Amino acid sequence: MTSLERQIDQPDTSSPSEAGGVAMVLWQTLLGIAVLFAWQGASGRLVDNFFISNPIDVGRRLFEWTRDGSIFIHLWATIYATMAGFIIGSVLGGALGIWLGVSPFVSRLLNPYLNALNALPKVALAPLFVLWFGLGIESKIALAAALVLFLVFLNTFAGVRQVDQDLIDIARLMKATRMQVITKVIVPSAMSWMFAGLRVSVPYALIGAVIGEMVASNKGLGYLVQFSGAQFDTAGVFAVLIVIALLAVALNFLVDAVQNHLEQWRFTSR
Amino acid sequence: MIEISQVCKTFRRREAVVEALRDFNLTIHQREIVAVIGPSGCGKSTLLNMIAGIYPPSKGQILYKGTRVSDLNTDVGYMTQKDNLLPWRSVRDNIAFPLELAGMARSERDDHAEKIIKAVGLDGFQTRFPNELSGGMRKRVSLARMIVYGAETALLDEPFAALDAQLKLAMHGLLLQLAAENKQTVIFVTHDLMEAVTLADRVIVCTRRPAMIALEQKISLARPRDVLNVRFTNQFKEHYDALWDRLRIEYQEEKV
C-alpha cells in the first residue's frame, strides 16, 4: 500500500533531482505510511468504520478480488471501453476539426449548435446512449467517445485556424491542390494542437467509461464501485477507487510514452 | 508580359487606412530583369503580392500574359520576404516541396534538390530543420525552393537582405545564371542600389508611401555581367549616380 503512494506521486518525481531526490521519495513514503496508520487508528475510534472502512479491510478486499480474478474482468472492461472510446472519439473529433477548420461557411453555420452541444455536460447523454446502444460495452464506448470527441475537435479546430495563411498561399502558388494543402500544410501545422487535445482527453475517456458503467452495466470498475456502494461495502468502494486511480496513472504514463515517441518521429524523420 | 495599369491599393484595418500604392503603371517584358527599389514600407511587397495574386488591387488591374490576375498566379515563383519555410520539414524536404506537390518520385526529387542545395551553398545542412538555421541560410533555402519550382517568372522580395557581402555576390551570380538558362522573367525588390544596378535591365525607383514610380531607368550594361567587377565600370557609376540622386530625395523626405 505504501508503494501506491509512491506510484501516484511518480509523475512529479520522474526526475528525482527536481523533486528533491531520494530524500523526498523517502519523506513521501513516510507520509503515505503515516496516513495509513492514522486511517487505521481513526477507523472505529474517531469515525465509524462504516463510513471510512480501514486500510486492512481494503487491502484484504483487493487481495480477494485479485486472487479470484474478478477484478481483472472489471478492469479489462473499463480499459477496453476507455481505449475504444478514445480512439473513436479522437478520429471523429480530429476529422471534424479539420473539416470545419478548412470550411469557413460550414463552421459558421454550425457554430451555435456546436457551442450548445459543447456546453452540455456530456455525461448527461449516458441514458440516451444506453437507449441507443444497450446495456453492453457499446454505450460506455459511446460516452467515452463523446467526451473525447469534443476535446479533440476543439483543439484540432483551433490548430487548423491557427495555421499561417502565408504558408497556405505559398503552397497554393506552387500548384498545391486543396487536398495537398490539407495533408501537407494544414495537418502538420495543427499537429501540436491535436496532440494537446489528445493528451487532455485521455482522462476524460476514462471518466466517460466509468460513468457509463455506473449508469447501467454488469461489468467494469464503474459498475463495481456502484455495486459496492449499494451494498454498503465501504471497503469495496475504496478498493475500486484505488484501482481506478492506478489505472489513471498508468494511462498517463502511456500517453507520455506515446507522445515522446511521436514527437521524436516529428523531429527526426520527414 | 506583365502589365500593371492604374493600380491602387488601400488597406483598411478598423479606423486606420493605409494607401500602399497609387496609380502604378508598369509593363514588364518577357525575360526582363526588373529591380524595384524604394524606402522601407513604401508598398514594394504589396506590388509583388498583387502580381502573385495573393490579393487584388483596390483599383486598376494587372494583366499576366494578357489575362487578368484574379486568383493565385501559379505561373510565378515567389520568394517572399518572410522565408515561409515549413518548420516540420528538413532543408531538403522544404526545397523538394514543389516537386513533391507535382507528384515526382522521392529519389528523383531528392536528386534535383541536391543540385540546388550545392548551388546555394547549403551542402551538409540537408537534414537540418529551419529553426536550426541562421536567417541567411533560411533565405537561401527559400531561394532554392523557388528555383526548384522553376516558374517562368520569379518574384523576389529582398532575396539577399540577410546575406553577407561575399555570399551576396555568389547569389547574384547564381540568379543571373539561372535566369539566363531558364529564360526567366525576374522582378525583385531591394533596398540595395548596388544590387539593383548589378542585376537589373531596368530599375524602378518608388516614392515613399503611397508608392508611385519616381524614376525608371534602363541599365545598359552588357550581358552576361560579371557581378564581381561590373560595379567598377564608368557606365555602372553613371547609372548608380543618376538613380541615387532621385532615391536620395525619397529618403530625405522620409526623415522630415
pLDDT tens-digit profile of A191-210?
888 888 888 999 999 999 99
Average pLDDT, stretch B10-30? 90
Query: Is B21 in contact with B60 (CB distance < 8 Å)?
Result: no
Task: Give the model's pLDDT for residue A19.
Answer: 56
Give yes or no for residue A265 having a pLDDT over 60.
no
Task: Give the model's pLDDT for residue A256.
Answer: 85
pTM: 0.79
Contact B86 A188 (CB under 8 A): yes
Residue A157, C-beta contacts closer than 8 angstroms, at least 6 positions apart: A96, A97, A100, A101, A107
What is the distance between the alpha carbons of residues A94 and A43, in angstroms, rounded to a whole number? Answer: 49
Average pLDDT, stretch B8-36? 91
φ, ψ dihedrals at A213, nearest 5° = -70, -30
Give yes or no for residue A4 having a pLDDT over 80.
no
ipTM: 0.88
Which whole-number Å values give the CA distances from B1 to A21, A240, B4, B184, in the listed order?
A: 72, 77, 10, 12
> Comparing C-alpha atoms, which of B64, B46, B63 is closest to residue B55?
B46
- Interaxial angle between packed helices A21-42 and A55-68, expressed in degrees from 0 to 180 and rounded to the nearest 10: 100
All residues of chain A having their beta carbon less than 8 Å from the beta carbon of residue B78 are: 170, 173
Average pLDDT, stretch A113-121? 91
| Neighbour tally for B80: CB within 10 Å | 22
| Chain B interface mutation, best of A166, A167, A169, A174, highest count of B Cβ atoms under 10 Å | A174
The sheet with strand B59-64 has its strands ordered as B16-28, B2-13, B59-64, B67-68
Long-range contacts for A222-227 (Cβ within 8 Å, ≥24 apart)?
A222/A78, A222/A140, A223/A74, A223/A77, A224/A71, A224/A74
All residues of chain B having their beta carbon less than 8 Å from the beta carbon of residue A177 are: 101
All residues of chain A having their beta carbon less than 8 Å from the beta carbon of residue B100 are: 184
The model's pLDDT over A91-105, given as tens digits with 9 standing for 90+, comes to 999 999 999 999 989
Residue of A nearest to B91 (CA): A270
Contact A173 B90 (CB under 8 A): no
| Neighbour tally for B116: CB within 10 Å | 22
Show which of residues 183-212 on chain A sit within 8 Å of chain B, judged by CB atoms.
Answer: 184-185, 188-189, 191
Give yes or no for residue A269 having a pLDDT over 70.
no
Task: Give the model's pLDDT for residue A255.
Answer: 84
Q: pLDDT: is A46 or A10 the higher one? A: A46
Average pLDDT, stretch B132-139? 91
Amino acid found at A58: V
What is the distance between the alpha carbons of residues A168 and A177, in angstroms, rounded to a whole number? Answer: 11
C-alpha cell at position A152: 479533440
**How confident is the prediction for chain B on average, in pLDDT?**
91
**pLDDT confidence of A66, banded at 50, 70, 90?**
very high
The model's pLDDT over B164-207, given as tens digits with 9 standing for 90+, comes to 888 999 999 999 999 999 899 999 999 899 999 999 999 999 98
Contact B86 A167 (CB under 8 A): yes
Sign of the C-alpha dihedral, residues B134, A181, B112, B149? negative
Q: E strands of B14-114, at which residues?
A: 16-28, 33-37, 59-64, 67-68, 76-79
Domains of chain A: 1-42 (no CATH), 51-268 (1.10.3720.10)
Among A6-10, A72-76, B160-164, B195-199, the range scoring the smallest mean pLDDT is A6-10
All residues of chain A having their beta carbon less than 8 Å from the beta carbon of residue B77 are: 173-174
